Structure 1
Amino acid sequence: MADTLLETPLAALHRELGGKMVPFAGYAMPVQYPAGIMAEHLATRQGAALFDVSHMGQAELTGEGAAAALERLTPADVQILKPGRQKYGLLTTESGGILDDFMVANLGDRLFLVLNASRKDVDCAAIEAVLPAGVKLTRLPDRALIAFQGPAAVSSLATLAPAIAALPFMGVAAAEVQGIPVLVSRSGYTGEDGVEISVAAEQAEDLARALLALPGAMAAGLGARDSLRLEAGLCLYGNDIDETTSPVEANLTWTVGKRRRTEWNFPGADRVREELDGGPKRLRIGILPEGRQPARAHTAMSMDGQTVGEVTSGTFGPSLNGPCAMGYVAREHAADGTKLDLMVRGKAVPARVAAMPFTPHRYAR
């Protein structure tokens, strides 16, 4: 596997910790450690857990008008972003689909981007294709990315870097952790408070060991990351959003900036505008199945024997102590409380449409 897959700067540490390595987005990544997915998930909800997300793409946009240039590919209002602030956004296609979801931070003299691992090459090529003279995209393959998530994550990290405690939700700042220079954002994809830390690849293992030495900290893998984000109602690119889904269908219209809704000059604007005005044919919904059996991706959803949608992500939620899922249904069946049948292993499992997140977000406010 190591011969064909890329590895992150923390690969040796994962193996030392007993991580079960699996292929993911072209990388060998830990799906879990000996404690197991359930323990890792609950540790994130109750304390602090470390996730290696170094497979994600990191890049910088520099030059006069960088924010306006990026807006050629996203409906997000990037120009409104103040120094030291970050936001979640979508890159869109001319047909109104979602090329990727991403994070963008204003570092004052440049924009810092975090892109999905499976899409970073596609994203960078698309961004470079719309850049005017004087604006440059620089990929940062020599940097690792570590997510430290959970209600105790920031207070624990602050014992090593006190200034991080004052960082607001979606705030970004340069800092030092035990002498290691880092870029810290108070964000993450678990629904919990926490940070994501960009660090030079050669110092990533030292940083990870320092974090794991903090009281109650645990290493967590892709399995827990998936169940956490699903309980939090957060999309996974390639499952819940892709080039066939629009921001309106995906219930991500809040990422379309107020100013952008007056300009309509982003890729796919015509489709987005049409669906905002008239409603999309389908909508992303949360789903709570009865019983204990999870409904996985591609499970059909039906009403009165007629297929009305499909599950895109599903799992057993350790915090919920029951299964949860998300997917798309015809708009007329998307109201909370609507009863559906899920075809799981040839049997109809009763379920209902439910509001997301399934587990309340606990971001710093």
Structure 2
Amino acid sequence: MRGGGLWQLGQSITRRLAQTDKKVVARRYFASEAELKKTALYDFHVANGGKMVPFAGWSMPIQYKDSIMDSTVNCRENGSLFDVSHMCGLSLKGKDCIPFLETLVIGDIAGLAPGTGTLSVLTNEKGGAIDDTVITKVKDDHIYLVVNAGCRDKDLDHIGGHMKAFQAKGGDVSWHIHDERSLLALQGPLAAPVLQHLTKDDLSKVYFGEFRMLDINGVHCYITRTGYVIFFCFPTYLSGITVEVYVLRSL
């Protein structure tokens, strides 16, 4: 299959996935509007025509005025900014945080250099997958990881339960769930060039899987680079307006 045939197949698959996603969102994550949590960019999404739907207990934009196909093509050819603040970020700290985490995930976390990260899987006692995660080794006694919004409750229950048992045996580990932060993802081949206009730090020196603390548009942020995607965290106590100003300038 060549050229137009591949394009038509891609369109067909994208449409089917879009319809499936809408059904799954409506079925799995139904909640009343009053119960839904909102990210710092909620007002921005609404003002710019975002179609808000319930997702994992949050009110999130599933689509803007452009078609899903147009948005996908733009992301692959240029770049797109995603509000992923509904995802759950947490820090593990203490001299035993790495040995503790390695009992729960796959991968050599101890072998990571400070300031680097890896994709991993949170597993159960039988080795089955509970959720996928991105893990960053900030330093030897500080690990930052992000888990999916839809798996937040079971992930935190699993981690918290094992942490209590680990602490009871004298293990030095504690955690903090970062509900005070906003998480954005800039994705596409132009992700780094766009972000470069808003920081004096040289993003060409931030390689795949690396973590940095940078000043972006006057705000201290944490960024992680994974291929064409750059994730960065804002301290949301600066208010949603601060995050909106960044978004408007980046667009």
> Does the alignment reach a TM-score above 0.5?
yes
SS in 2 for 1:107: strand
CA contact (8 A) 1:60 1:112 kept: yes
Report the AA paired with residue 196 of structure 1. F
Give the aligned partner of residue 213 of structure 1. 249
Structure 1 residues 100, 181: CA separation in 2 closer, same or farther (over 3 Å shift)? same
SS where residue 246 of structure 2 aligns? helix
Find the residue that maps to 2:53 and give its secondary structure. strand
> Is the 8 Å Cα contact of residues 9 and 202 (structure 1) preserved in structure 2?
no
Match of 1:179 in 2: 218
Q: Compared with structure 1, are the counterparts of its residues 205 and 170 closer, same or farther at alpha carbon in structure 2 (3 Å cutoff)?
A: farther
Aligned to 1:355: none
- Residues in 1 aligned to 2:207 and 2:106: alpha-carbon distance in whole angstroms: 24
Structure 2 unaligned blocks of 5 or more: 1-31
Query: What displacement does 1:16 show?
Result: 0.9
Greater helix share, structure number: 2
2:186 pairs with 1:148: yes
Counterpart amino acid of 1:100? Answer: D
Superposed, which structure 2 residues align to 1:216-365 within 5 Å?
A: 217=251
Runs (5+) with no aligned partner, structure 1:
218-365
The alpha carbon displacement at 1:213 in A equals: 3.1
Give the structure 2 partner of residue 128 of structure 1: 160
Deviation string 1:66-112 (CA, Å, 9 cap, x unpaired) is: 11100111122111111110111011112332111111101114100
The residue that corresponds to 2:58 in the other structure is 27
With the length of structure 2 as denominator, give the TM-score of the two structures: 0.79
Would the aligned equivalents of 2:122 and 2:129 in 1 still touch at CA under 8 Å?
Answer: yes
Q: 1-side partners of 2:151 and 2:59: how far apart? A: 17
Task: Say yes or no: does 1:157 pair with 2:195.
Answer: yes
Q: 1:26 to 1:93 in 2, by over 3 A?
A: same
- Tell me the TM-score normalized by structure 1: 0.55
For 2:69 and 2:86, the matched residues in 1 are separated by 23
**Deviations 1:274-330 (CA, angstroms, capped at 9, x unpaired):** xxxxxxxxxxxxxxxxxxxxxxxxxxxxxxxxxxxxxxxxxxxxxxxxxxxxxxxxx
Partner-residue secondary structure (3-state), 1:118? helix
Opposite residue 209 of structure 2, the aligned amino acid is M
Which whole-Å CA distance do the structure 1 matches of 2:37 and 2:89 have between them? 16
Q: What is the SS of the residue equivalent to 1:3? A: helix
Closer, same or farther: CA 19–202 of 1 in aligned 2, 3 Å = farther
Which residue of 235, 242, 246 corresponds with 1:200? 235
